[in-house]
Structure 1
Amino acid sequence: MPRRAGLRRLAAVLALGALLAPAVARAQPQDRPLRLVLNVGLQTLDPISSPSFVTRNFAYMVFDTLVAMDGKGGYRPQMLDSWEASPDRLLWTFRLRPGLAFHDGTAVTAADAVASLRRWGQRDAIGRRLMAATQAMEVVDPATFTLRLQQPFGHVIEALGKPSVHVPFIMPARIADATPPTQAAKEIMGSGPFLFAREEWVPGERAAFRRNPAYQPREEPADGLAGGKRPLAARVEFLTMTDVSLRAAAITQGEVDYLEYAPFDYLPRFRRDRNLVISQAGGISQIMGGVSINHHLPPFDRNLALRRAVQAALDRSEIVAAHGLPADMTSPDCVSLYLCGTPYASKAGGEAIRQPSLERARALLQEAGYRNEPIVLLQPADSALINPMALVVIDRLKRAGFNLDVQTADWSSIAGRWVGREPVERGGWNLVPVVYTGFDLADPLSNVGIGYNCSGNQPWGYCVEAMKPVLDAYVAEGDPAKRKALAAELQRLAIENVTFPTSGQFRSPAVWRAELKGVIDFGFPVLWNIERAK
């Protein structure tokens, strides 16, 4: 065993040198690139067409938002200079701050903002509801636009400041107007703090960025996604390393600067290393595992008992244990779809999933009339976060009696199939193990098991009639206490109808080199304001 372990470490070091050699040869020590290792490879660049976190991370480098979430979960103007609402809160007026420019030098205008919001509003759960409540969005002048509601919508600013998939990033109107939201834009043109070096992009392996010298950050200090985004690093590189030992060697040897997620097996060692800093972000930045069910296709489309069999088989303690995390980094007893520790956390409906049981799952399979039909499960083998949990999910479902057709691939390939609607025989799917952060789950309108109800959106094709009026009431409600009660009822209905069965809550921290100063510990990589200590 020791000899094999040594050989693995040697192979990791050799592979690391081969991967980084071209960049090392180009860069001098004083302007060494800031290197981030992503969880999975960057394959898709359009943050509206893609539901992937890696695309979201990319987009925050090159795009900007009208409103941004700060470190405490509040919402602040970002590209906007100000906003105001009429007394009845049906007419909103937004003004852009001066000096905004796209990377091609053209000015950002209100027309760009309106076109971008309309495209996003066809794709995102909150965006769709905002657009459904909107009577008109109109350009007043190059820096001003209005949004007139035809019915109350109590989440306008929260919608514009949505921090994660899908984020309402602003792009030129000529691109937004010409590109359907389900298709990837051919041209990537943002106004954010970094410029994308597309000529250096190797999909799935490497992406590079240069500082945007024309970017004008806000004057206030950076705070979460808000405030002054100062691109201090002259060059940033996104790298992909599927081997976790390679990631660990790279960060400990200083060959890379930042890991999006620390390899769990190496956390004890990282905690003892004074050259490394481990993220302390919690709450909304925690992660929930779950299983995406294809509600569009048989056998899950109209068979509630079959979906309940999946839910009954998912033992959260056993699944989360696959990561081998310390007890203070897991919450396997959490039954809240919103994540425990977040504002809308609730136990409503939780009794149905508190005690998972393979015996109960088998009984539900019989009740469902299951006849051993093959169930296509897509397994993202390259994801250090998803794959360990997926292996336990697969084992549990097989033991419950599901006839699984497990198809293994990299996440980027799976994501392309996941958002499609092909039948199984033409690349379709039935189940996909996934993970989401609290940024995506902590509010009913963004929660993947609630906010997409009856929207027809793939991969979230569920439609629960009983949720419709409750969601409508939540959308219009402005009172926090009433919102919380409505959110609890929505969770109860979602668990009862198995829109998104969860597989366990945990914390997966980032890790970065201690010589980096100005790192914003937010919950996903924020790479502005970072510089090296001299």
Structure 2
Amino acid sequence: MRIGSCLLGLAAAGLLAFGAAAQPQDRPLRVVVNVGLQNLDPISSPSFVTRNFAYLVYDTLVAMDSKGEVRPQMLQGWQASEDRLTWTFTLRPGLEFSDGAPVTAEDAVASLRRWGQRDAIGRRLMAATRALTATAPNVFVLELAQPFGGVIDALGKPSVHVPFIMPARLAGTTGPTAQVPEVVGSGPFLFNRSEWIPGERTPVRRNPRYRPRAEPADGLAGGKVVKLERAELVTLPDIALRAAAITQGEVDYLEYAPIDYLPRFRRDRNLVIANPGGIAHIVGGVSLNHHLPPFDNVLMRRAVQAAIDRAEVVAGHGLPEGMTDAACVSIYLCGTRYASNAGAELVPGRNLERARALLREAGYNNERIVLLQPADSALINPMALVVIDQLKRAGFNLDVQASDWSSIAQRWVGREPIDRGGWNIVPVIYTGFDMADPLSNVAVGYNCTNNQPWGYCVEAMKPVLERFAAESDPQKRRELAAELQRLSHDHATFPLSGQFQAPAVWRAELRGVIDFGFPVLWNIGRSR
């Protein structure tokens, strides 16, 4: 029986998914993720669910704590030369991969090089690098050819794409867009491939070889102590089923609480609603395919930008008061360090007459525009429905193709023409973890890299991004970030559809849950 059918029956009967004789600490921690897990490689895949999985089985050299500071994780420490062009990194002793092999500096070097071919910040760091070499089994050295102001921030990037460390035999032989053939990490959990049901159920268990740091767990940093032997990432596309499952105790944790059920959840003393900080908030937007007509034309992109009413979009989520910010125009998310109002005059809100005028100016002749609608995403789908309506009212001839996110993600990263499965528009969401730094921000950080689905290239952004990457002064960095935002709005690289909060919810019996904006499964125990 498939898991969705099984849980539906249990929820309808009002029964617990676990037998009465099961001991609390023996029950697997069951986490409902927003969409199904298909791709297991966090470098080849841009999906959040892959990132969530990767944090369980892999580890990082440095990690972000709850205050946004970057701290050593796999590293014992590092030293920088006086001119900050030479960085020496030392691994912690005793680190092992899940296959029993020791983690070495060669593994770190191979993993960083692969990540550096795929990630926006990684590509810029590698472009500024003269040499990256292992000088001892546990020591590697990064020699810069030119200044790079955020070396440690780059290594501590918390979201897509994260520089997870893999064995050199895998990272050094697999291209950045291909999946590694094995899941071999040095993280706190082990992947049970034999029990994996792609898109539905992903089981993991405690990694006995993992050696957590001595410090308390804090965000993604500190000691990743696993207190429950087993965990499962499960997928329940039906929103009502998710609500019933968490209420009945059939699952322990929902990555995103169904918005319509938040008032009910808040009255339930058996549930805890997360309250993540600003960097964990979410921004919606539309990914436009700059590779294909008509959105290779900036006027068409500006027409999309003019058609979108952010207030109407976030209202479509039905969120309680205080959980949305339709007025925010910052591509970095309001409440983060680079947030500003730069270019606000270019995105005043919906103006259908302006959108229609831009369509006429662009020479749009009612050509078919393929929009991929992620119908199984509790967060993207409500937004997508409103955006679809707004674009149709503005005069776009949309061919709406609804599907599950996993299928859409495969088409999204492709470069096929429209008649062979290509696309023009995909509504998407990102968190502040992905957007808060200009070098990783999807609206500016991938400029002219040909390394992400939409493929934009704004010549005026190039020198500003180079200056930002080299700059270390915080105030000058903020000024450059503001200029990049203005250029993004002017060229409509990523039309925004509104900022909002989508909290997780978990059973009150869980203790030690780290509220960080996405599922962090270490440090969690049960009170009964």
Q: CA offsets, 1:49-83, max 9 Å, x none?
A: 00000000000000000010000000000000000
Q: In structure 2, what is the Cα distance between the partners aligned to 1:433 and 1:24?
A: 41
Q: Which amino acid aligns with 2:490?
A: E
1:29 CA drift (Å): 4.4
Say whether the 8 Å CA contact 1:287–1:438 is kept in structure 2: yes
TM superposition outliers: structure 1 runs of 4+ over 4 Å: 10-13, 15-30
For the residue of structure 1 that corresponds to 2:147, the secondary structure is coil
For the residue of structure 2 that corresponds to 1:390, the secondary structure is helix
Q: Match of 2:473?
A: 479
| Counterpart check, 1:432 vs 2:426 | yes
Say whether the 8 Å CA contact 1:448–1:460 is kept in structure 2: no
Q: In structure 2, what is the Cα distance between the partners aligned to 1:131 and 1:42?
A: 30
Q: Match of 1:411?
A: 405
Measured on the aligned residues, the alpha-carbon RMSD in Å equals 1.7
Q: Match of 1:344?
A: 338
For the residue of structure 2 that corresponds to 1:356, the secondary structure is coil
Q: Match of 1:523?
A: 517
Q: Match of 2:308?
A: 314
Q: In structure 2, what is the Cα distance between the partners aligned to 1:164 and 1:477?
A: 22
Q: CA offsets, 1:10-52, max 9 Å, x none?
A: 9985264799998769965441111100100111100000000
Count of equivalent residues: 524
Change (3 A) 1:27 1:492: same
Q: CA offsets, 1:337-368, max 9 Å, x none?
A: 01111111110001111232111111110011
Name the % identity. Answer: 73
Map 1:142-221 onto structure 2 (within 5 A): 142-221=137-216
For the residue of structure 1 that corresponds to 2:327, the secondary structure is coil
1:519 CA drift (Å): 0.5
1:94 CA drift (Å): 0.3
Q: In structure 1, what is the Cα distance between the partners aligned to 2:419 and 2:346?
A: 33
Q: Match of 1:457?
A: 451
For the residue of structure 2 that corresponds to 1:292, the secondary structure is strand
Q: Match of 2:280?
A: 285
Q: Which amino acid aligns with 1:204?
A: G
Q: Which of residues 479, 488, 491 in structure 1 aligns to 2:485?
A: 491
Q: Which amino acid aligns with 2:478?
A: K
Q: In structure 2, what is the Cα distance between the partners aligned to 1:205 and 1:343?
A: 37
Q: Which amino acid aligns with 1:189?
A: V
1:155 CA drift (Å): 0.7
Q: Match of 1:378?
A: 372
Say whether the 8 Å CA contact 1:378–1:406 is kept in structure 2: yes
Q: Match of 1:4?
A: none
Say whether the 8 Å CA contact 1:27–1:33 is kept in structure 2: no
For the residue of structure 1 that corresponds to 2:347, the secondary structure is helix
Change (3 A) 1:299 1:420: same
Q: Match of 1:89?
A: 84
Q: CA offsets, 1:362-391, max 9 Å, x none?
A: 111001100111001100000000000000
Structure 2 unaligned spans of 5+? none
Structure 1 unaligned spans of 5+? 1-9
Q: Match of 1:388?
A: 382
Q: Which of residues 226, 229, 241 in structure 2 aligns to 1:231?
A: 226
> Which segment drifts farther, 48-57 or 182-191?
182-191
Change (3 A) 1:449 1:20: farther
Q: In structure 2, what is the Cα distance between the partners aligned to 1:24 and 1:469?
A: 62
Q: Which amino acid aligns with 1:49?
A: S
Q: Which of residues 347, 372, 383 in structure 2 aligns to 1:353?
A: 347
| Counterpart check, 1:79 vs 2:96 | no
Q: Match of 2:290?
A: 295
Q: Which of residues 323, 326, 332 in structure 1 aligns to 2:317?
A: 323
Say whether the 8 Å CA contact 1:300–1:306 is kept in structure 2: yes
Q: Which of residues 495, 504, 507 in structure 1 aligns to 2:501?
A: 507
Q: CA offsets, 1:392-411, max 9 Å, x none?
A: 10010011000011111100
Q: In structure 1, what is the Cα distance between the partners aligned to 2:225 and 2:438?
A: 33
1:282 CA drift (Å): 2.3
Q: Which of residues 244, 247, 253 in structure 2 aligns to 1:249?
A: 244
Q: In structure 1, what is the Cα distance between the partners aligned to 2:115 and 2:15?
A: 37
Say whether the 8 Å CA contact 2:65–2:71 is kept in structure 1: yes
Q: Which amino acid aligns with 1:334?
A: C
1:186 CA drift (Å): 1.4
Q: In structure 1, what is the Cα distance between the partners aligned to 2:45 and 2:15?
A: 28
Change (3 A) 1:456 1:395: same
Q: CA offsets, 1:444-494, max 9 Å, x none?
A: 011000100000113131000000010000000000000000000000000
Say whether the 8 Å CA contact 1:49–1:183 is kept in structure 2: yes
For the residue of structure 2 that corresponds to 1:118, the secondary structure is helix
1:412 CA drift (Å): 0.4
Q: Which amino acid aligns with 1:450?
A: V
Say whether the 8 Å CA contact 1:282–1:507 is kept in structure 2: no
